Structure 1
């Protein structure tokens, strides 16, 4: 496989890490002709909305959101009194840590909004050049819902595949996801979870590193970049497992991976969106390099001990990156369970 077409729009949304510039902030930096009019987000926008810069084609983020506000207000008169912040959450693509507000180029933002209908979303997508896609925010956390079923927001116009750039070991890697189906994990100035994983790898040099609730692969890929030679990425949510495999492919050169073999596809995985205890795990992809191997699994975490070779049961370190970390009874139970099943170490990042 030389290229992965975007499963949402069929375009080239998924690109390798060689697209990441040495200084990613330049993607959203102004040129000498750009102008920033900082708006009060707690008030409705005032004045005319500027067009993109004639020099570089970028536009200040506040002006982009004001443009979206004007379209919503044209379709829903009562919205005109709402503040700019009511438009929704702009998610940059790629997402990077920035100290200053960005200047946005074409197709550089996925908008997550509670204020849009399908018609309004289609207008925003067609009239605001910076908007890559519009997601209807249902106020839920995408993935596995409280009842164990599938949960997600709804893409109602454009494409919602976007990436986030994270640093580790003086390297930068990219994590792609379909944002309506995956939780938001936006880069910050520091990432304590990545740093915890990095220290664990350097201190213990495990034969196998297991990311049991891997999401779209951030911690598992960080572990591999830090030096873990054998990594298992597992998630019970089909979209997370799929995008973990895609992210292995996107970062393959950086990881020293020669080959990524996909064992399943998105359509097949979506037929069983949530894996429960007792369900048979599915190998989504396997990656191989000169000194490393990575496997992506769509399965319930309780199936993981059966995947680890008997001779290496006590050697793996597992990370349990669960949402409800405050539930110490739950996290303590996970740690005890892993120790009882494998004798290996585990931690909550």
Structure 2
């Protein structure tokens, strides 16, 4: 049976109800820059943080921002006080700080309220609640192992997710493409992390293919939050079909299509095993994009894609 996922709804966060909107790099120019009064605490990454932290290093500037290291130092102190990490822990032991909105930066950011999601492997609900209460920059605390990717590899496996302990885990990555900026939202406890470096290799690979052949119909067969298929729409494709076996990914795709301004007439969304799509989709596409889950054997994926499209773009 077909499972087409689309509901016309406002772009509100399904976790906290916040209104989610599209961003571009121009409106956010200087968003994470310091004012004249902001202070870089100058912590050394490989020294125990408790040997370095001072009260002044944790103070918020009058502009309402703090350096990322000051924020993580306060997080570290809470984790140490509650026995989550040892007393000689370094700043990096506190976890992975994920800013939002995220885009390439030349230096560490100065953060405003609700601009960071914390991913840390060993933390209790009580400690997470303390962080949300005491550290205004942190909007959500997730418990999980950063080395294990959330999601599902294929239909025979149980999905892996992180635990959202407190707050909201919705983040936005702003991605620059040859067709303009796109805003890709994701629940970070449910979908993989993509760090905002200077270049997006997936977009570059997709751009080379899409801008050279200009396909009118595209199948994004393992779409995740929809990044590559949305780029195809931005680059001029008339219609894109999105598919991912992980239903949470499909929900993020739906949200991102709405936020980035695409009418439902230009897309459909399915939640199926890619290997079953040839029995479900009664049409042929000009291009099929396959961006597999890390570690997956892709032969069967490519066999299925070959039955559905004239050309295949494998993202590796």
The normalised TM-score by structure 1 is: 0.81
Gaps spanning 5+ residues in structure 1: where?
260-286
Matched, 1:206 2:220: no
Give the structure with the larger helix fraction. Answer: 1
Higher relative contact order (CA 8 A, sep 6+): 2
Q: Is the 8 A contact 1:168 1:226 kept in 2?
A: no
Gaps spanning 5+ residues in structure 2: where?
1-7
Task: Give the paired residue count.
Answer: 302
Structure 1: how far apart are the matches of 2:305 and 2:186? Answer: 29
Give 1:35's aligned residue: 39
Structure 2: how far apart are the matches of 1:77 and 1:186? Answer: 26
Give 1:133's aligned residue: 140
Give 2:182's aligned residue: 173
Give 2:5's aligned residue: none
Structure 2: how far apart are the matches of 1:25 and 1:113? Answer: 29
Q: Is the 8 A contact 2:79 2:85 kept in 1?
A: no
The normalised TM-score by structure 2 is: 0.89
Q: CA deviation at 1:306?
A: 4.5
| Alpha carbons of structure 1 residues 307 and 24: separation in structure 2 relative to 1, 3 Å | farther
Correspondence 1:315-334 to 2 at 5 A = 315-324=285-294, 330-334=297-301
Q: Is the 8 A contact 2:226 2:253 kept in 1?
A: yes
Give 1:346's aligned residue: 312
3-state SS of paired residue (1:80): coil
Q: Is the 8 A contact 2:84 2:123 kept in 1?
A: no
Post-superposition CA distance 1:198-230 (Å, at most 9, x none): 121122122311111100011111111112111
Structure 2: how far apart are the matches of 1:236 and 1:216? Answer: 12
Q: Cα RMSD over matched residues?
A: 2.0
Give 1:299's aligned residue: 272
Structure 2: how far apart are the matches of 1:306 and 1:205? Answer: 26
Q: Is the 8 A contact 1:145 1:151 kept in 2?
A: no
Q: CA deviation at 1:305?
A: 3.0
Q: CA deviation at 1:186?
A: 2.1
Structure 2: how far apart are the matches of 1:163 and 1:245? Answer: 14
Q: CA deviation at 1:85?
A: 0.5
